[in-house]
Homo-oligomer: A and B are copies of this chain.
Amino acid sequence: MVVRELSDETVDRLFHALADTTRRDILRRCVRGELSVSRLAEAYPMSFAAVQKHVAVLERAGLVTKQRSGREQLVRTDPDAVGRARQALDELESAWRGRVDRMARLLAEDPGTEENDTTEGPE
Contacts and interface: CB of A to CB of B under 8 A. Distances in A.
Interface of A: 8, 11-16, 18-22, 24-25, 27-29, 31-32, 43-45, 77, 79, 82, 85-86, 88-89, 92-93, 95-98, 117, 119, 121-123
- Copies of this chain present in the complex amount to 2
Most buried by B among A93, A97, A98, A123: A93
Given A16-B19, A28-B121, A31-B97, 13 more contacts: A11-B19, A11-B21, A12-B20, A18-B88, A21-B122, A28-B119, A31-B95, A31-B98, A44-B122, A45-B123, A77-B96, A82-B93, A82-B96
Most buried by B among A11, A14, A122: A122
